[in-house]
Amino acid sequence: MKLLRRLNYTKIELSFMQQTCNVMEGGRHILYDVFISKTLSLLETEIEITKDYFRYHAGDTSMKMEIHRQGNKRKSTLRWNGTDNDLIELVAALMAAGVVDCAEGKKLTVVDVIRVFEDAFNLKINALYTKRGKVFDRCTVSTPFIDSIRKSYIKMLDERLA
């Protein structure tokens, strides 16, 4: 929060300097105007990044703010169209296959990975532990979502090859 406050104060001070420069006659330098404008733009961007960080990671002390840029390309916003149980089943299968692990080397739980997926899809799974238990304790079909994904993938391949 201190960072956000500091960024806003700096923005206010620079905005005031810019307004003062705008009414000055003759004595200002073009580089000074460019510097203030660019600095204000950077501050505005940093303020938005910081707000988003606090919005999505409030209370999560283990999260570190990382910004990944892809040139001028905008990242797409993802939306999960399956059920909470589908996501839990998918994450559990990915972990069981050993295709997901932690970059820092710490041992991950299904819940850790689900939290990352929640961030990626901008959703919140309520009663996660209860739902996870129900997914793991199924008596009939143990992997309905993975089975449906497999069928959809095979159908897509067949259509492409036809």
148 domain residue, yes or no: yes
The answer to whether residues 51 and 90 belong to one domain is no
Please give the pLDDT value at position 29.
Answer: 65
100 domain residue, yes or no: yes
The answer to whether residues 95 and 142 belong to one domain is yes
Query: How much is the pTM?
Result: 0.52
Full domain range(s) for residue 148: 84-161
> For 11-70, how does the pLDDT look when each residue is reduced to its tens digit (9 = 90+)?
777 776 777 766 666 666 666 667 777 777 777 777 777 777 766 665 554 444 444 455
Please give the pLDDT value at position 73.
Answer: 59
Q: What is the mean pLDDT of residues 70-88?
A: 77
Please give the pLDDT value at position 3.
Answer: 64
What would the DSSP string read from start to end of 57-104?
HTT-TT--------TTPPPPPP---S-HHHHHHHHHHHHHTT----TT
Mean pLDDT of the chain, nearest integer: 76
